[in-house]
Structure 1
Amino acid sequence: MTHLFFTLCIGIGATMVMDLWGLLRRPLFGVPPANYGMVGRWVAHMARGRFRHDAIAQAAPVPGEQPLGWAVHYLTGIGFAAVLTGIWGPAWLQQPTLGPALIVGIGTLAAPFLLMQPCMGLGVAASRTPHPGAARLQSLITHAIFGLGLYAAAWAMRLFYPE
């Protein structure tokens, strides 16, 4: 049960760090935060049998897409934390190290580059966006920050819940 609790908290904490970064990007770089309502729209359309869109922003809006998108965002963060704690196990939870957290954090780029962006009409690795290189760089930075968040959240859990 402790492993599950730690994994949940680490996933939520890392996702919060990523969201904080998303808020800081606008004043620092002029990059707006992610619109998780579009993720909610995409997921809601999946329930209706539509998995791919030419442009998700042009798809019919769905009631509750914002909260659904945020829920999917946080559940995804928890899922990636489960990958980390599942691979590196209780030993990593006892003594978190940065390497595994960054491997998982940066590895999570596969989800938007190969699944979400193509299915939402943005192309593989944002290839159909106006500035693919900039979008890729922002994704890389954001997912590296998620990895740092995994590490920081794990250490915070160790401080608040030592065993």
Structure 2
Amino acid sequence: MNAVLAIIVTGIGATAVMDVWGAIRKRLFGIPPADYAMVGRWIGHMTRGTFRHDRIAAAAPIPGERALGWIVHYGTGVAFAAGLIWIVGSEWLRQPALIPALAFGIGTVAAPFLLMQPGMGAGVAASRTPKPWSARLQSLITHAVFGFGLWATGWVLQQG
């Protein structure tokens, strides 16, 4: 498999692992998964010149926001997989190692903390949410799971 295709599959696989974690987390702990329609709404409003909201749920709906949100979610996973390979090198695709993938996954929590959450009205690192430390911990765990998913998907690709 060529490197570009491997990166795409790895990003999609890692994002899917993260989504499975979200479903498990909901079932075990009652924590609702992320609503990617709100991500689509946020992105949709960007095309209209609005990049920050006080509360994204109160913003006007965007046609197709749910689909847009899911596309952005998986596209971001692919972009993050490309970022991992850019940092650690393409050799990782031939010999996936857990520690770099896990560290990179944890590092990707900077994106929601510094971009998405402030832009959607939750504040830097969820500071405007009812339970900021709980939200931060959940984000950190979810992005660690994404890092594990990078490694797991890379490993599966090497088996077949």
Runs of 4+ in 1 over 4 A off after TM superposition: none
> Offset at 1:90?
2.1
Deviations 1:4-39 (A, max 9, x none): 010000000000000000111112111001100000
Tell whether 2:12 aligns with 1:12.
yes
- Percent of counterpart pairs with the same letter? 64
- Structure 2 unaligned residues grouped into runs of 5+: none
How many angstroms does 1:104 deviate by?
1.1
**Equivalents in 1 of 2:11, 2:27: separation in Å?**
26
Structure 1 residue 95 and structure 2 residue 103: aligned?
Answer: no
TM-score by length of 2: 0.98
After superposition, residues 83-162 of structure 1 pair within 5 angstroms as 83-160=83-160
Q: Deviations over 1:100-134 (max 9, x none)?
A: 10111001000000000001000000010011111
* TM-score of the aligned structures, taking structure 1 as reference length: 0.96
- Cα drift, residue 91 of structure 1: 1.3
Aligned residues: 160
1:33 maps to 33
Kindly report the root-mean-square deviation, in angstroms, between the aligned alpha carbons of the 2 structures.
Answer: 0.8
> Counterpart of 1:43 in structure 2: which amino acid?
I
Q: Tell me, which stretches of 5 or more residues in structure 1 are unaligned?
A: none
Q: Which amino acid aligns with 1:5?
A: L
Matched to 2:123, the amino acid is G
**Structure 2 partner of 1:42:** 42
The letter for the 2-side match of 1:17 is V
Q: Which shifted more, 7-16 or 88-97?
A: 88-97
